[in-house]
Chains A and B, each alone.
Chain A
């Protein structure tokens, strides 16, 4: 098994740091899947969609250098389980760095070595090396790391402006712990919640629906609304701290069962599943 990759360039570095921090915010332990064309993050110990989960993919194009050799020719992947915060802390040290290198190494035990090259203003380079202990997962555990494969969503809609969405969900989270997300195939979405004392509803329109949303509405009516009620705090956790400018930001709803948020920016994609309450 071999893995060696290098990221240079401010934009790619920032994206990588951002992905590591997002993963660490949403999962304590994660699985790093090294594949021939990408690096993927999945939540560890995921037992089906009874809980929220984040899957990220950083495609090969984000790396200046990417070399891997899987377990075997047939099984050309490596699965590493590690504490997400270790990686995010190491990645954060690369803020403003000239490069970040990832390498699978062995120091008495398997490690993911993160080497950060920091250019100093005086012209002298400094490097910071982090050795993150990892556990190599056996083949039997690989299946559980895949993102859920589901039938087409009942409704698919582009998300509103990120900051607006976040501030509305934030305000609702102050009042209650659930939020009802509704959308239709006419670009309309509402977020609402109610308690004994107060009810709040925000209306978004002209959001647009992705063309490839193969989801046919339950009764063929584009106006018909699809809904799912989810834990507000889970939603907020994902929305917080997102400083990226996604080229694609959309959500998929499976009526009364699942909410999926999808963000894509250059070679990075994030998908976050939140099951219905």
Chain B
């Protein structure tokens, strides 16, 4: 079934465009050199990878009850992928409110890249300390070999904004934070905020090749009460 035939067939179909457009924005920032073309037939993404081959990609969704269709064309080979859709679960609302933010810092991401890739995976938690006093911003892990602490002083070159009103020390499961490293690697800046419930909000600012900016937001729950004596 060549790509061309499918296009003609789809002329009459309805697509839920709003959802598709959102996906494309994320997709285009994750893929480098991507050109997106949105038409009433679907979203077409063309990607040039390092080997200078063109991969054309199209995603179509006819509506409720139909599978999500992906069409890829690479080097004359057409691949069609049908993914059965599921009933959407209600997305978790972390209820993070900007007005109840206690601490906020904005860091240049390059300062965090190495840290996150070298995080001691034997540690179950990542402890984040944010404080108006020393150590200002600290990332700590506790593993079998010992504990490690990484401090970022508030006047560091990497620190773009530092607004901490209260000392907050919170632990978050590393397994929950690890997925966000993908966004971290792509981002140029990251904002870390914590609210009065100790919930974190990580916002990654990603700039793609055309200069377009997009954000990836990440929320999770704090792990447990931190014992007071922690040096």
**Chains A and B belong together in one complex:** yes
Q: List A residues at the B interface (Cβ < 8 Å).
A: 160-161, 164, 168, 196-206
| Residues A202 and B84 in contact, CB atoms below 8 Å apart | no
**Residue B19, interface by CB 8 Å:** no
The closest CB in chain A to the CB of B78 belongs to: A203
With a cutoff of 8 Å between Cβ atoms, the chain B residues found around residue A196 in the complex are 84
**Residue B143, interface by CB 8 Å:** no
| Residues B76 and A205 in contact, CB atoms below 8 Å apart | yes
| Residues B79 and A199 in contact, CB atoms below 8 Å apart | no
The closest CB in chain B to the CB of A197 belongs to: B84
Q: How far is the CA of A198 from the CA of B70 in the complex (A)?
A: 11
Q: Contact check: which of B2, B75, B78, B81 meets A198 at CB < 8 Å?
A: B81
| Residues A200 and B80 in contact, CB atoms below 8 Å apart | yes
- 13 further A-B contacts with Cβ under 8 Å, apart from A168-B79, A197-B83, A198-B82, are A164-B74, A164-B77, A168-B77, A196-B84, A198-B81, A200-B79, A200-B80, A201-B80, A202-B79, A202-B80, A203-B78, A203-B79, A204-B76
**Residue B1, interface by CB 8 Å:** yes
Q: List B residues at the A interface (Cβ < 8 Å).
A: 1-2, 74-84
| Residues B75 and A164 in contact, CB atoms below 8 Å apart | yes
Min CB distance A65 to B, Å, is 41
| Residues A200 and B75 in contact, CB atoms below 8 Å apart | no
Q: How far is the CA of A199 from the CA of B81 in the complex (A)?
A: 6
With a cutoff of 8 Å between Cβ atoms, the chain A residues found around residue B77 in the complex are 160, 164, 168, 202-204
With a cutoff of 8 Å between Cβ atoms, the chain B residues found around residue A205 in the complex are 76
Given A203-B1, A203-B2, A161:B75 Cβ within 8 A:
yes
| Residues A202 and B75 in contact, CB atoms below 8 Å apart | no
| Residues B84 and A198 in contact, CB atoms below 8 Å apart | yes
With a cutoff of 8 Å between Cβ atoms, the chain A residues found around residue B2 in the complex are 203
Min CB distance B26 to A, Å, is 20
Q: How far is the CA of A70 from the CA of B83 in the complex (A)?
A: 59
With a cutoff of 8 Å between Cβ atoms, the chain A residues found around residue B1 in the complex are 203
The closest CB in chain A to the CB of B73 belongs to: A203
12 contacts between A and B (CB under 8 A): A168-B77, A168-B79, A197-B83, A197-B84, A200-B79, A200-B80, A200-B81, A201-B80, A202-B77, A203-B77, A203-B80, A205-B76
The closest CB in chain A to the CB of B1 belongs to: A203
With a cutoff of 8 Å between Cβ atoms, the chain B residues found around residue A198 in the complex are 81-84
With a cutoff of 8 Å between Cβ atoms, the chain A residues found around residue B76 in the complex are 204-206
Q: How far is the CA of A58 from the CA of B172 in the complex (A)?
A: 59
Q: How far is the CA of A250 from the CA of B76 in the complex (A)?
A: 18
